[in-house]
């Protein structure tokens, strides 16, 4: 037992041709922000295409606990927000489960309020560093009580008048950038975030859509300065959430690897801060056709036709890491089947995800026969096209450490390995992609849960 819930192992087996057309559930980052900004804005927000994974639902519950009214009518989520600056003190600790984004962004959103809020989460979230968000909040005048090393549980108490800060984000993190901006929403004056390395820009775009006075300036070196005028009015919006490119990665890599496959994935978010994996796979020789590119709700969206391809190893530069940060485990799986060596650089942030993803990926690859080396912030994979000898015939299970993306990546690996690949827990997949099993098996993937449950 890792999280008080019995683990649910699963395994995948060599599959023949994957084919069909699928629609991926809504983007997780945009779904979290839709609940948050809708819950905060004046008037009504209507959301379609929302990701109904556990992570996002926890964010919705937190917004309800702070005064937002949220209901689902047919396919639409309808939110009546409190109005900016008018969140209510939550009566009980806010439980974010497995979700770093929900927790860290909400800490920014409510931490500056002149009342107490407490944040808790599961075993994975409770291991993750919160200091990266708590430090700028302290600068704004927030009192913090936290467990050792700035871990959860965390209790925040904001000042009567928060202090607008100029904050240079010390690591490439959209969560940290967003937490400071959201704190700025209830802070008088201009809060400024300097972002030396660009990360996903959903917070900036969506806040502008809700009517915030927010400007972005980019200098000749790509350093972005984001200025937000605090205590302005936000107005409810209509949002159609596009499909999650990070979830798309799993059927996409599976279709590339399983010989003869031809899969179309519809309505995928193509925001350039999220398409690093597609670019990398194309450099590796992947046949990914971008069809019907269009703009929807201020975001680029397209359909992707993916056909099985012979891949070759490449070097993935460190600068690309922020644009494909959640996709390295599944890229590592793709690399294991490529001709030659793939070298991934600049991976230090992988160590503070739902698991230490660098170690979890390298350990899982080795367990299943892949030749790879884990460095401090690098991963080198020497591929073997065809996957002969891959998998673990003894049934040794990949340890997922409560990390949904580790579970899904290794289940993709089993579809092209000579022997079965087993993961110790598939239940965690529901945090981001509840439809994963059905969608993959619908395409022809041989994945199943194991009878009996491991302790
Ligand atoms: C996210 C930012 C990224 C990403 C996470 C979602 C967001 O985290 O890994 O899955 O929605 O802002 P970091 O900001 O820690 O890189």
What mean pLDDT comes out for the span 198-220? Answer: 98
- Answer yes or no: is the C-beta of 175 below 6 A from any ligand 1 atom: yes
- Indicate if the pLDDT at residue 454 is higher than 90: no
Which strands make up the sheet holding 371-374, listed edge to edge? Answer: 315-316, 341-344, 379-382, 371-374
Q: Is the preceding omega at residue 113 within 30 degrees of 0, hence cis?
A: no
What mean pLDDT comes out for the span 143-168? Answer: 97
- Indicate if the pLDDT at residue 451 is higher than 90: no
Distance in angstroms (rounded) separating the CA atoms of residues 161 and 298: 34
Is domain 10-26+242-452 classified as CATH 3.90.1010.10? no
- Indicate if the pLDDT at residue 339 is higher than 90: yes
- Indicate if the pLDDT at residue 1 is higher than 50: no
- Answer yes or no: is the C-beta of 361 below 6 A from any ligand 1 atom: no
Q: 41-73, pLDDT tens digit by residue? A: 999 999 999 999 999 999 999 999 999 999 999
Compute the distance from residue 138 Cα to the ligand 1 centre, in Å. Answer: 21
Question: Dmax over Cα atoms in the chain, in whole Å?
Answer: 64
Is domain 28-240 classified as CATH 3.30.43.10? no
Q: Nearest C-alpha to atom 5 of ligand 1 is from which residue?
A: 101
DSSP state, residue 27: P
Q: How high does pLDDT run on average in the chain? A: 97
Q: What are phi and psi of 236, to 5 degrees?
A: -50, 150
Q: Which of 30, 56, 100 has most ligand 1 atoms within 8 Å of its beta carbon, as the pocket-test mutant?
A: 100
- Answer yes or no: is the C-beta of 59 below 6 A from any ligand 1 atom: no
Compute the distance from residue 173 Cα to the ligand 1 centre, in Å. Answer: 6
Q: Do domains 10-26+242-452 and 28-240 have the same CATH topology?
A: yes
pLDDT band with cut points at 50, 70 and 90 for residue 370: very high
377 as an active site residue: the answer is: no
- Answer yes or no: is the C-beta of 244 below 6 A from any ligand 1 atom: no
Compute the distance from residue 174 Cα to the ligand 1 centre, in Å. Answer: 5
Residue 320, token pair as written in the block: 């690309």
Q: Which residues are annotated as a binding site for phosphoenolpyruvate?
A: 28, 100, 128, 175, 357, 405
Q: What is the pTM of this model?
A: 0.97
Q: 134-149, pLDDT tens digit by residue? A: 999 999 999 999 999 9
Please report, for the chain, the start and end positions of each structural domain, with discontinuous segments joined by +. 10-26+242-452, 28-240
């Amino acid at each position: 037992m890792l999280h008080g819930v019995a683990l649910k192992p699963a395994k995948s087996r060599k599959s023949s041709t994957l084919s069909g057309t699928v629609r991926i559930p809504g983007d997780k980052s945009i779904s979290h922000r839709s609940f948050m900004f809708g819950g905060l804005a004046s008037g009504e927000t209507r959301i379609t295409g929302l990701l109904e994974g556990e992570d996002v639902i926890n964010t919705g519950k937190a917004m309800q606990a702070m005064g937002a009214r949220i209901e689902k009518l047919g396919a639409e989520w309808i939110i009546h927000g409190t109005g900016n600056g008018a969140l209510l003190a939550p009566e009980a600790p806010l439980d974010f489960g497995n979700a770093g984004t929900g927790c860290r962004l909400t800490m920014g959103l409510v931490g500056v309020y002149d009342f107490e809020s407490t944040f808790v989460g599961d075993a994975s979230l409770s291991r993750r560093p919160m200091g990266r968000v708590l430090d700028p909040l302290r600068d704004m005048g927030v009192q913090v009580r936290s467990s050792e090393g700035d871990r959860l549980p965390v209790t925040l108490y904001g000042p009567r008048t928060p202090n607008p800060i100029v904050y240079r984000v010390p690591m490439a993190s959209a969560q940290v950038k967003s937490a400071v901006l959201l704190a700025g929403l209830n802070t008088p004056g201009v809060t400024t975030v300097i972002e030396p390395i660009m990360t996903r820009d959903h917070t900036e775009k969506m806040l502008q859509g809700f009517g915030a006075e927010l400007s972005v300036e980019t200098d000749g070196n790509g350093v972005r300065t984001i200025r937000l005028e605090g205590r302005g009015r936000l107005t409810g919006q209509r949002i159609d959430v596009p499909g999650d490119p990070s979830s798309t990665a799993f059927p996409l890599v599976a279709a590339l690897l399983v010989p003869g496959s031809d899969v179309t994935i519809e309505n995928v978010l193509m925001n350039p801060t999220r398409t690093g994996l597609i670019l990398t796979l194309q450099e590796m020789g992947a046949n990914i056709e971008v069809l019907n590119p269009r703009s929807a709700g201020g975001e680029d969206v397209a359909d992707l036709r993916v056909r099985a391809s012979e891949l070759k190893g490449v070097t993935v530069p460190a600068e690309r890491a922020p644009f494909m940060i959640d996709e390295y485990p599944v890229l590592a799986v793709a690399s294991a089947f490529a001709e030659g060596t793939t070298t991934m650089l600049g991976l230090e942030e992988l160590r503070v995800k739902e698991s230490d993803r660098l170690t979890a990926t390298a350990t899982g690859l080795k367990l299943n026969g892949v030749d790879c080396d884990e460095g401090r912030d690098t991963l080198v994979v020497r591929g073997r096209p065809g996957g002969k000898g891959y998998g673990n015939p003894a049934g040794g299970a990949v340890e997922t450490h409560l990390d949904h993306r580790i579970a899904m990546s290794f289940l993709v690996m089993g579809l092209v390995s000579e022997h079965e690949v087993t993961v110790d827990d598939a239940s965690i997949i529901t945090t981001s992609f509840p439809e994963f099993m059905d969608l993959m098996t619908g395409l022809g993937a041989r994945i199943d849960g194991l009878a009996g449950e491991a302790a």
